[in-house]
Amino acid sequence: MSSALDTLRRDFGGDIIEPGAAGYERAARTVLVAGRPAFVLRPKSAGDVAAGVSFAASSGLVVSVRGGGHSFAGFGTSDGGVVLDLGQLADVAVIGQERHVVRIGGGATWGPVADVLAGHGLAISSGDTRSVGVGGLTLGGGIGWKVRKYGLALDSVIAAEVVTASGGIVRASAQQNPELWWALRGGGGNFGVVTAFEFVAHPATQVFFGTIAFPPAQAAGVLAGWADYLRTAPEDLTSTVEFANPFAGGPDAPVAAHVAFDGDDARAAAAAIGPIRALGTVIADDVTLTPYPDTLAAGVTPPPGIQLVTRSGFADRESVPEVLRILAEAGASQRPPAISVRSVSGAVSRVPGDATAYPHRQAELMFVTTIAGPGPAVEGARPALDALWARLAPHTSGAYANFLTSATEQDIAAIYPARTYQRLAAVKRHYDPGNLFTRNHNVRPG
Ligand SMILES: Cc1cc2nc3c(=O)[nH]c(=O)nc-3n(C[C@H](O)[C@H](O)[C@H](O)COP(=O)(O)OP(=O)(O)OC[C@H]3O[C@@H](n4cnc5c(N)ncnc54)[C@H](O)[C@@H]3O)c2cc1C
């Protein structure tokens, strides 16, 4: 270990933070999860990342790669391992003005990216939160406010620069290392450290954005009508419904339909959003024309000791009515989880199922349940949550890796159907045969 550490100190140009050092406590934890890693390495270049990966490989310690640090499973830290915190690899540069090609550092977060791109009249559909990382969100999917129009965040990626387990730096694109290129888009952090992504951005428009709220008693009808409407709604419109939020009254919380209409044409927006307003008794409506960067919410770090359990699933067209019925019932129960349902069809479903390692292309909806609180409260709520998911199980197809606290074999089988998994395992064998990168929804070398 000591010679590996000497080599690291010689080759690594970034910061090496060890327990006891100033800033360690902050560096050790992610946004959602505490940890006590032996080393937090903050690389400043791809070469530093390569030195960090080589150190981690020779030290035998568990490696965590941290982009924005928002993994629900806490993959961005560990107890006793090495964290590669990419936060200083956050440059955003337009490198191809004509085709809107943008290079973004693997440790960037979406808020600053949206701000910089807006200055160039560009945007990328990412997620809903400023502090979420480009790395984790993109490698797992990326369901954002323009998902029905432009697809997942990973659908806009055209290349990536990757430090692999051997410490080599490779480029992955349709032309170079195409199997790695396929695997990165959906396969998470399994294949190496992405030091930079190249995206094709979209022209930035303002967005009619806001929330239309309905009484909780109307949840079942609003949800059913919303899903029916989204099936044929203009793809400029993306929408999410949230209900049973424990911080807004649990079963008494309003049903909040968030809408994002991409474009500043007020009449077109009103026509597209109108059918959602007509779904029930509107008790609040704050939809206004908003610059795209302002649609992204500031992230929140939960207070110490608060745990989260987040689970996700997809619903295909035929399962939608039953899934929504079960979720509406759960939302009205005594201590429900927070429930959110996102529309994911449109442009997502037009990409062929095997074009990327994200396999859930035919789903109409992605839904998420979250319970949060001190450990004993979370454990107390778990049996009801398990019972809810047992009811949902016959109607769900798969899980969204980016909204999962757990990483069991069952979760991995839900994220990756057998064919996808086998292909990923072959790529893993090539690029990470020793399974150095395990702090993710892990694919074992085939
Ligand atoms: C408040 C909040 C809001 C969210 N909103 C959305 C949303 O609207 N849409 C959506 O789709 N998802 C959303 N998510 C889920 C989010 O996509 C995942 O939590 C994602 O993993 C976060 O990425 P990160 O880089 O911040 O996380 P990290 O914890 O840093 O990383 C997560 C995983 O990705 C890997 N990874 C990260 N960066 C790299 C890299 N550069 N190279 C290789 N591997 C890397 C890590 O090793 C780890 O396995 C949200 C999460 C939170 C907490």
- Over residues 289-315, mean pLDDT: 94
User: From the CA atom positions of the chain, what is the Rg in Å?
Assistant: 21
- Over residues 54-63, mean pLDDT: 96
Asked if the model's pLDDT at residue 277 lies above 80, the reply is yes
pTM of the model: 0.98
Q: Report the amino acid identity of residue 229.
A: Y
What number does the ligand 1 atom closest to the CA of 191 have? Answer: 43
pLDDT at 247: 85
- Residue 322, helix vs strand vs coil: helix
Asked if the model's pLDDT at residue 324 lies above 90, the reply is yes
Q: Choose one of 311, 402, 436 to mutate for the ligand 1 pocket test, by most ligand atoms within 8 angstroms of C-beta.
A: 402
Cβ 258 under 6 angstroms from ligand 1: no
- Over residues 124-143, mean pLDDT: 98
Asked if the model's pLDDT at residue 301 lies above 90, the reply is no
Cβ 130 under 6 angstroms from ligand 1: no
What number does the ligand 1 atom closest to the CA of 162 have? Answer: 42
pLDDT at 40: 98
CA of 177 from ligand 1 middle (Å) equals: 24
Extended beta strands in 316-395, E state = 338-343, 365-374
pLDDT at 294: 98
| Helix spans in 340-397 (H) | 347-350, 375-392
Angle between helical axes of 219-230 and 320-331 (0-180°, round to 10): 150
CA angle 61, 75, 111 (to 5 degrees): 130
Asked if the model's pLDDT at residue 387 lies above 80, the reply is yes
Across the chain, mean pLDDT equals: 97
- Over residues 116-128, mean pLDDT: 97
Nearest CA to ligand 1 atom 6: 127
pLDDT at 29: 95
**pLDDT single digits (tens) 169-198:** 999 999 999 999 999 999 999 999 999 999
Q: Choose one of 41, 64, 70 to mutate for the ligand 1 pocket test, by most ligand atoms within 8 angstroms of C-beta.
A: 70
Nearest CA to ligand 1 atom 14: 402
Per the CB < 8 A criterion, the answer to whether 280 and 288 are in contact is no
Q: Rounded to the nearest 5°, which phi and psi values hold at 319? A: -90, -15
Closest CA to 271 of 256, 285, 261: 261
pLDDT at 239: 98
- Over residues 110-136, mean pLDDT: 97
